[in-house]
Structure 1
């Protein structure tokens, strides 16, 4: 089963790299969460977070990335996800999976646009809660624990 889970997570990474956000939305359960907590906020709960998206917020995020002139994403980010150290354990029908990920991000531009044209690396432990459904695996929760969450973050407008 862990091989299937690894393939699911690799596919999610490719969907994000390809900016196939509609397909990415379909990976979540309707009540699923996408969370990027502040440093030291591992449980997420009701504490402040950089991102805490339920289904409506995920759909709105995707809508803005695809349909609006979004200054933080003009030009849009190009990303490449590297996923490793996929470890998982099942309990009560939920697979709790931990991964190490390095995400490279760049936005094309020239010297007149600060930060554009630079290659940036984001390192995170990304934890998933996955459920097996009749339609396959679905994300109950995706929690992105940025290695440098306590540091200044340049542009967080793309999806990790």
Structure 2
């Protein structure tokens, strides 16, 4: 892994955080490949995540970008329970691992998101695992698995909360 590759991935993932905080939904969606697998698994029991999003309950699961596009459509309508009113957010992440098997880059981050809605501040935190492929002079996200480590989640989570 080169320093240049590390920096390139770090900058790319920073753009994802920026687009979510800025609510720049079109730019955020453009980071994802059409066939992206976007998964936020639930905990089966304390310390054990579910292993198959097609057979177990997940916090969020979309098998392609169409699901994310639908999610953004609902956010924009202002009629989504999880996004009314729309939270202000601050996404922070740390790139902690990067590897390059075959023609993809696997990245792992630790993250925390602070949200403010109706004078209530909430924080969510966890890890995220990305599968990235080169695209033009940057990257596209082909898979993202986000693990939420909070014990309690007292609202409906949406893509911008994590």
Q: Considering the TM-score relative to the shorter chain, is it more than 0.5? A: yes
The aligned counterpart of 2:10 is: 6
The aligned counterpart of 1:118 is: 120
Q: d(CA) in 1 for partners of 2:13 and 2:61?
A: 20
- Between the two proteins, the alignment pairs up a number of residues equal to 151
Whether the 8 Å CA contact 2:93–2:112 is kept in 1: the answer is yes
TM-superposed CA distance for 1:75, in Å, is 1.3
The aligned counterpart of 2:25 is: 21
CA RMSD, Structure 1 to Structure 2 (Å) = 1.7
TM-superposed CA distance for 1:143, in Å, is 1.0
The aligned counterpart of 2:148 is: 146
TM-superposed CA distance for 1:61, in Å, is 0.1
Q: d(CA) in 2 for partners of 1:145 and 1:79?
A: 18
- Structure 1, 69-78 or 122-131: larger mean CA deviation: 69-78
Whether the 8 Å CA contact 1:124–1:144 is kept in 2: the answer is yes
- The structure in which a higher percent of residues are helix is 2
Whether the 8 Å CA contact 2:132–2:143 is kept in 1: the answer is yes
1:51 pairs with 2:60: yes
Whether the 8 Å CA contact 1:64–1:70 is kept in 2: the answer is yes
TM-superposed CA distance for 1:70, in Å, is 2.1
Which of structure 1's runs of 4+ aligned residues deviate more than 6 A?
none
Q: Which runs of 5+ in 2 are unaligned?
A: none
What secondary structure sits across from 2:145 in the alignment? strand
TM-score (norm 2): 0.85
The aligned counterpart of 1:37 is: 41
Q: d(CA) in 1 for partners of 2:159 and 2:36?
A: 19
Cα displacement string for residues 49-95 of structure 1 (whole angstroms, at most 9, x for unaligned residues):
11111211111000000124223322101110111143200001111
Whether the 8 Å CA contact 1:6–1:86 is kept in 2: the answer is no
Q: Relative to 1, partners in 2 of residues 1:97 and 1:42: Cα closer, same or farther, differing over 3 Å? A: farther
TM-score (norm 1): 0.86
